[in-house]
Amino acid sequence: MSTVLRSQLEAAAARFANEVVRILRASSLADILAESNDAAARTADGTQAKRRPGRPLKGAENAPPRMDLLVAYVKSHPGAKGLELRTALGIPGVQWGT
């Protein structure tokens, strides 16, 4: 990857991370937790998901990233990049941004 492209991508990632941190800091923890719980209970078209009886999902690989852990990590590691966050919180790459 060229140096110019790499630096442009790093700058874009830093801007994105800073904006996410700014938004999280401006929000209350209750709002963040309510949003993450509400989002987990909705389908792709925005309707309320209906839970059917059956086997529970297998392991943490199917669970969405926990916002409280993300907020705590960002507060204790200002300026952390996305890869650092993902690695520290054990979020697989396929779940990041989905």
| pLDDT tens, residue by residue, 62-88 | 556 677 788 888 888 888 888 888 888
Q: Give the whole-angstrom CA distance, residue 6 versus residue 15.
A: 14
Q: Quote the pLDDT of residue 91.
A: 74
Distance from C-alpha of 34 to C-alpha of 49, rounded to nearest angstrom: 16
71: number of Cβ within 10 Å: 17
**Predicted pLDDT of residue 13:** 94
**C-alpha distances out from residue 53 to 1, 41, 60, 63, 98, Å:** 49, 15, 19, 18, 25
The per-residue pLDDT of the chain, averaged, comes to 75
Tens-digit pLDDT profile for residues 55-66: 655 555 555 667
Point out which residues pair with 42 in neighbouring strands.
Answer: 48
Question: By the 8 A CB rule, do 93 and 86 touch?
Answer: yes
Q: What pLDDT score does 12 carry?
A: 94
Beta partners for residue 48, in sequence order: 42
Domain boundaries, the chain: 3-89
Chain-centre distance for alpha carbon 66 = 7
- What is residue 53's predicted lDDT score, i.e. its pLDDT? 62
